[in-house]
Chain A
Amino acid sequence: MIVLDLALNAVATGIVLGSIYALLALGLAITFGILHIPNVAHPAIVIAGAYAVVVLNRFGLDPILAGLLWSIPFYFIGLAFYEFYARSFESRGGGNTLQSLTLFFGISLVIEIALVVAYGTDLRSVRVGYVGESLRLGTVAIPYRFLVPALITPVVVFLLWLYLSKTNTGLAIRAVAHDERAVSVAGVNPTAIKRHAFGIATALAVIAGAALVITGPVDPFAGRIHIGRVFAIVVLAGMGTIPGTLAAAIIIGVAESLVMSFASPSWAPGVAFAILLATLALRPTGLFGGVR
């Protein structure tokens, strides 16, 4: 029975963990999954968002509310980021993946250093009433500091899915990655569409930052451990499917949690890639690639 309890707890924790991973990966599902921009700076932007949330939380603002407020300036920061990227690479006919990768790696370092300079390397956290308590269902216990941010994800996933599949701008975002010329023949400015999508992805990063900082304290380098995992989730999901991103993240979350409980926590970071490799061998388009 102890084993069963352990397994139940591991699965419950995994679902919650996966849900938070999905939130971290959603921005990347747009930039990398749909626009094919290898934005390795995404986790660093998430951490910058977490710091921004900490600042507002000092004034007593709820972190989720703070994240929502920050998402508007972050959207505009994202527009500026994309404009910089487009001018330095895409408009010059480059768009070379390796060069872009280097650029975003650089941006990620700059963000981290800027956070160190501004706030030092100490851990920062938010104050919320529910930290330290857990929801108990029989033998399963889920800390609220995980449960609350995990509950944001389904809402965000639903709204994002609705936007990308039911609005014309959402359709244009998916179309622009597919065929930029066909989009411009239709009178849509492809650069403006991609800039807007990048802005949304950056706004999502601050929501993810708010969720992450509720789960535990962050330091300027806290994004690094997530880089590999979020890319694995986006590819596993099948590049740019939004509900697929949530499903893939939960699969990885549960697998990691089971490995942590029954094997060793030191194996956990490898789980995402093990699942990814096994999946790509069988389904090169990812789990939900081609399906909407």
Chain B
Amino acid sequence: MSEPLLSVRDVSKSFGAIKALGPVGLDVAEGERLGIIGPNGSGKTTLINCITGFFRPDTGTISYKGQDITRLPAYRRARLGLSRSFQIPHPFTGMTVIENLLVPMDYGATSARKELENAEEILRSVGLAERRDHPAEQLSQLELRKLELARALAARPAILIADEAMAGLSEAEIDDILSVLFELNRAGVTVIMIEHIMHAVMRYSERVICLETGQVIAEGSPEKITSSPVVQKVYFGEQTAR
């Protein structure tokens, strides 16, 4: 296997006396579709926050394309190609859909026309092209999720971390988002999917990691994870109990 695109080594994070994460280690290969699952409070969001730079891990290192990025601020990691969407979409209100995408593009050296073309292309790729000039606050829930993805894509990332991009959507809407994510992956973007919706994450991922109380308890193909007794105990057990 060639050098991983993203590599997490012995990363841990505590909040006061509570250990939220780790130590965990994982590698992500270029072009991979990785799913991360785990019950609420298992450390998924803490892990992404450490990877994207919103938390500084207490221990361990994170490297991206061979470069140690553990201490880089979030915006520098984003410029290197590491992007994420947020669980709860917060569009920039008071702006149109396309304006939401133009915010990120300013640091690039490209011309205004290029930026606009790029933004329009991303809107097309997520299926929001016809909503281009609508105020962001008038979008439907599905469209908001798409805008959230589009915004994460505006800086042309190499890795997209989609944090529960489908929570609360209908089956048809989930299919819609999944096809957008499949298309992105085909275009070369490495996708890390954090998701509670089991069938979606199993359908999408090539490899799945299961976290529980801040530790990786299982890792492997979707089939292997689905049939893993330890995963069934912490995860599916919890779900069927509900």
Interfacial chain A residues near B73, Cβ < 8 Å: 184, 189
Instruction: State the main secondary structure of chain B at its contact with A.
Output: helix
Q: Which of B17-25, B78-86, B230-238 contacts A (4 or more CB under 8 A)?
A: B78-86
Bound CA span A171–B154, Å = 14
Q: Are A292 and B94 in contact (CB under 8 A)?
A: yes
Interfacial chain B residues near A171, Cβ < 8 Å: 92, 95, 99, 102-103
Q: Which chain A residue shows the least CB distance to B78?
A: A187
Chain A interface residue number, banded: 20 to 34
Q: Are A187 and B75 in contact (CB under 8 A)?
A: yes
For B154-173 the 0/1 string (1 means CB < 8 A from A) is 11000000000000000000
Bound CA span A149–B197, Å = 62
Q: Which chain B residue shows the least CB distance to A178?
A: B92
Q: Is A229's beta carbon under 8 Å from chain B?
A: no
Instruction: State the main secondary structure of chain A at its contact with B.
Output: helix
User: In the complex, which of the residues B92, B102, B112 contacts A182, with contact meaning CB atoms closer than 8 Å?
Assistant: B92
Interface residues on chain B, number (Cβ under 8 Å): 31
Q: Are A186 and B90 in contact (CB under 8 A)?
A: no
Bound CA span A189–B84, Å = 16
Q: Is A261's beta carbon under 8 Å from chain B?
A: no
Q: Is B12's beta carbon under 8 Å from chain A?
A: no
Q: Are B78 and A184 in contact (CB under 8 A)?
A: yes
Q: Are A187 and B86 in contact (CB under 8 A)?
A: no
User: In the complex, which of the residues B83, B102, B151, B152 contacts A168, with contact meaning CB atoms closer than 8 Å?
Assistant: B102
Interfacial chain A residues near B52, Cβ < 8 Å: 185
User: Which residues of A does B touch, CB under 8 Å?
Assistant: 168-169, 171-172, 174-175, 178-179, 181-190, 290, 292
Write 9 A-B pairs (CB below 8 A) sorted by A numbering: A171-B95, A171-B103, A181-B54, A181-B86, A184-B78, A185-B155, A186-B103, A187-B78, A189-B73
User: Which residues of B does A touch, CB under 8 Å?
Assistant: 52-54, 73-76, 78-79, 83-84, 86, 90, 92-95, 99-100, 102-107, 112, 115, 151-152, 154-155
